[in-house]
Structure 1
Amino acid sequence: MTTVLIIGASRGIGLELVRQYRAEGCRVIATVRDAGAQARLAALGAEVKLVDVAQPASVSGFSWLLDGEKIDVALYVAGVIRRPDARTPPTQPDFDAVMHTNVLGAMQVLPQVAPLVEEARGVFAFVSSSMSQIEGVANSYSWLYRVSKAALNMAVAAAQHDYPHARLVTIDPGWVQTDMGGDGAPLTVHESVTGMRKTLASVTDADKGRLLHHDGRRAAHW
């Protein structure tokens, strides 16, 4: 049975990933921050762990919770956004919130999970964004979020060299109808996740360290 780990599964894309992988018959391990979400995911048949990726003390024991596991597919979904453009300097609380969840949390989780993905010769994907790409930037909207996702791309591309038997990638879910994306987004959560799962199933060694898009396109430049 395929074992899938979803980090940040309480709602939106993470929750839909749990639904779809469970519907496919996969064993799913999911992390959430609170007991309410824990009960919701347990009802879907997931094995749920309480982990807050924004809190280093909470993340530090993650590998202990996963002791002995082999992970075929892992996804780091946790992320937050702050929307001011470059005319507004970020506050320290906003900077800390975005960078702790989107970058530091991922970098703390990665060394704990990647060896388990290597055991299965699997894929470890980190949810990024097309807004992270430096080429062709159209505006400074959500510039702090853009910076955090660009940093995440680099963290994953660099870390890939230390885990040669796993395939580490970042993946853009597209503009999705979530709390973050808003009701006007062109993609439903179901459509985005269906595409992401298909793309991740197609990952080869040639994709290691790359930014992929939910529809299967590979980013040529960052």
Structure 2
Amino acid sequence: MATVLIVGASRGIGLEWVRQARAAGDRVVATARDEAGLQRLRDLGAVALKLDVMDTASASGLAWQIDGYAFDQVALVAGVYGSRISGLQTPTEAEFNTVMQTNVLGPMRVLPQLQDALAPGARLAIISSRMGSISLRSDSQGWLYRASKAAVNSVLKDASLMLQDKAICISVHPGWVRTEMGGEGADIDVQTSVAGMRAVMAGLSPADNGSFINYDGQRLTW
């Protein structure tokens, strides 16, 4: 039985991750921003913690909420796409702040809170996106979201260096998933995505630390 932390689990990928981990018999701690989300987590048998990565005070209080835990697996799932900007449309300041603070500053707030709550050999994944890859990029659709995922890949790489004696840290692309964010026309269902990412995490070795990996195990370039 593993002890698992999922940050941003009120719906979509995060909620399905809770469901699959609980079905596997894992002890699960998961976060949500509001009472409705927290109740969905409790209904699945998870320990539900209130956390808003957009709020400094909320994020800084995570460490005491998880004091005493030793997590074998951590998944930072919380993220937003933002406005469906096409072409070279300048985002508003509010749009920029929402996407960057959620997708980049959020993990930068949460990661320091986890350092004393990682079990030896823990596996930690930030849910990124292939859209954040610079070398694989072929169009500019969603350039604000792309910028945020490129930035969080940088955050993960630094975390992998700082935590290398404690955890194996990766960025993982969940695929184009049929969720509220991905839409009905996406390639795969959320069950397939999460099952793949859980398998990737289970198979990690120290040589994978600091890598960018697809949900099916394929290595991705930055």
What is the TM-score with the length of structure 1 in the denominator? 0.96
Which one-letter code corresponds to 2:41 in the other structure? L
Deviation at 1:17, TM superposition (A): 0.1
Which secondary structure state, in structure 1, belongs to the residue aligned with residue 218 of structure 2?
A: coil
Unmatched tracts of structure 2, length 5 or more: none
Counterpart mapping for 1:32-51 below 5 A: 32-51=32-51
Tell me, in whole angstroms, the C-alpha distance in 2 between the residues paired with 1:143 and 1:71: 34
Which secondary structure state, in structure 1, belongs to the residue aligned with residue 153 of structure 2?
A: helix
* 8 Å contact kept, 1:114–1:124: no
Q: Cα deviations across residues 65-120 of structure 1 (Å, max 9, x unaligned)?
A: 00111000000000001220342101111100001110001011001113322x33
Alignment-derived partner of residue 15 in structure 2: 15
Count matched residues.
220
Alignment-derived partner of residue 213 in structure 1: 214
Alignment-derived partner of residue 129 in structure 1: 129
Alignment-derived partner of residue 61 in structure 1: 61
Distance 1:115 1:139, change over 3 A: same
Once the two structures are overlaid, the 10-residue window that deviates more, 23-32 or 210-219, is 210-219
Tell me, in whole angstroms, the C-alpha distance in 2 between the residues paired with 1:48 and 1:184: 31
Tell me, in whole angstroms, the C-alpha distance in 2 between the residues paired with 1:5 and 1:216: 21
Alignment-derived partner of residue 71 in structure 1: 71
Which one-letter code corresponds to 1:27 in the other structure? R
Runs of 4+ in structure 1 displaced over 2 angstroms?
none
Alignment-derived partner of residue 180 in structure 1: 181
Which secondary structure state, in structure 2, belongs to the residue aligned with residue 72 of structure 1?
A: strand
Tell me, in whole angstroms, the C-alpha distance in 1 between the residues paired with 2:86 and 2:179: 21
* 8 Å contact kept, 2:130–2:136: no
Which one-letter code corresponds to 1:172 in the other structure? H
Which one-letter code corresponds to 1:102 in the other structure? N
What is the TM-score with the length of structure 2 in the denominator? 0.96
Tell me, in whole angstroms, the C-alpha distance in 2 between the residues paired with 1:174 and 1:191: 9
* 8 Å contact kept, 1:195–1:214: yes
Which secondary structure state, in structure 2, belongs to the residue aligned with residue 121 of structure 1?
A: strand
CA-atom RMSD in angstroms? 1.0
- Establish whether residue 31 from structure 1 lines up as the match of residue 31 from structure 2: yes
Alignment-derived partner of residue 6 in structure 2: 6
Unmatched tracts of structure 1, length 5 or more: none
* 8 Å contact kept, 1:8–1:31: yes
Which one-letter code corresponds to 1:104 in the other structure? L
Which secondary structure state, in structure 1, belongs to the residue aligned with residue 105 of structure 2?
A: helix
* 8 Å contact kept, 1:114–1:166: no
Percent of paired sites with the same residue: 46
Deviation at 1:57, TM superposition (A): 1.5
Which secondary structure state, in structure 2, belongs to the residue aligned with residue 15 of structure 1?
A: helix
* 8 Å contact kept, 1:128–1:170: yes
Alignment-derived partner of residue 162 in structure 1: 162
Alignment-derived partner of residue 91 in structure 1: 92
